[in-house]
Amino acid sequence: MSHRLVVLQGPSAAGKSTLQAKLGLPRIVTWTSRPPREGETHGREYYFGSAEQLKAMYASGELLETTEYQGNMYGTSMASVAAAIQDVTPHSVVLDAFGARKVKERYGDKVLLVGIYAEKDQCARRLAERGLSALEQERRLASYGEEVSLLFGCDLIIPNPDQRLDQALYFIEAIGGALTEPWD
Ligand SMILES: Nc1nc2c(ncn2[C@@H]2O[C@H](COP(=O)(O)OP(=O)(O)O)[C@@H](O)[C@H]2O)c(=O)[nH]1
Ligand SMILES: Nc1ncnc2c1ncn2[C@@H]1O[C@H](COP(=O)(O)OP(=O)(O)O)[C@@H](O)[C@H]1O
């Protein structure tokens, strides 16, 4: 398979990070201006920086793309994506639909866009269990409809309903297996 980068997109709490972890590929760490959550470390979950820093990085061409999500900026470093695409080992990254499209436009078939889908009430429950404030939960769910409609731009969509994580994992493992087979 010629895909070098798996991009996961989908609504908040659909299960993107969970499935990315199970995919087991090295992850591209992206930048955000949102404050770190408890347990998050600079360089592991994200690189944390100010909005001004991210804007300056974008202006200087250091970031391939930036997006605003829930009032915070996010961005992917040009060098990290280029290095991932060149690397012998495929990588993965979680991006919103805007970032996913940018990366796909630039790298075409080297990028596999995987949409992760779960129903709205299930995402709502998962968000509530994550301990986010009521306002944050509401904000994340507000973009649910738009994020689901944008899944149709993906190369494939994996449903991740409650109680069927095993089924979603089956597909994720199949992708991981196909990507890590020897290629010419
Ligand atoms: N375009 C773009 N989106 C990103 C980037 N990094 C993260 N995201 C998106 O930002 C969204 C919000 O991430 P986060 O604040 O960690 O919240 P959560 O995923 O809802 O817990 C995620 O769903 C990702 O899709 C990036 O570098 N570029
Ligand atoms: N199939 C599933 N059934 C029940 N809970 C799930 C399932 N998939 C993921 N979760 C849980 O939902 C929450 C949100 O998952 P996460 O991967 O962080 O979502 P995202 O990265 O899309 O925001 C986590 O607590 C995770 O353990």
In the chain, what are the domains? 5-179 (3.40.50.300)
Q: Which residue's alpha carbon is at the smallest distance from atom 8 of ligand 1? A: 95
Q: Which ligand has the nearest atom to the CA of 169? A: 2
Instruction: Using a pLDDT cut of 90, give the percent of the chain over it.
Output: 85
Structure confidence at residue 183 as a pLDDT band (50, 70, 90): low
- Greater pLDDT, 1 or 87: 87
CA distance 151 to 115: 5
CA dihedral in degrees (119, 125, 130, 134; nearest 10)? Answer: 110
Nearest alpha-carbon partner for 119 in 151, 144, 153, 150: 144
So what's the pLDDT on residue 38?
A: 87
ipTM of this model? 0.95
Report the alpha-carbon distance of residue 11 to residue 142 in Å, rounded: 10
Per-residue confidence band for 5, with pLDDT thresholds at 50, 70 and 90? very high
From the CA of 143, which ligand is nearest?
1
How many Å lie between the centroid of ligand 2 and the Cα of residue 8? 13
Name the residue with the closest Cα to ligand 2, atom 14: 13
What is the average pLDDT across 178-184?
Answer: 70
Q: What mean pLDDT is predicted for residues 124-136?
A: 90
- Residue bearing the bigger pLDDT, 71 or 121: 121
Q: For residue 113, what are the CA distances in angstroms to 56, 78, 122?
A: 28, 18, 23
- Report CA-CA distances (Å) from 5 to 8, 83, 159, 163: 10, 10, 20, 28
Q: Once rounded to an integer, what is the mean pLDDT over residues 14-30?
A: 95
Q: Tens digit of pLDDT for each residue in 37-96?
A: 889 999 999 999 999 999 999 999 999 999 998 889 999 999 999 999 999 999 999 999
Report pTM.
0.94
Contacts of 26 (CB under 8 A, 6+ apart): 84, 87, 89, 91, 92
Residue 138 has pLDDT above 60, yes or no: yes
Mean local confidence (pLDDT), 103-119: 96
Residue 2: what pLDDT? 83
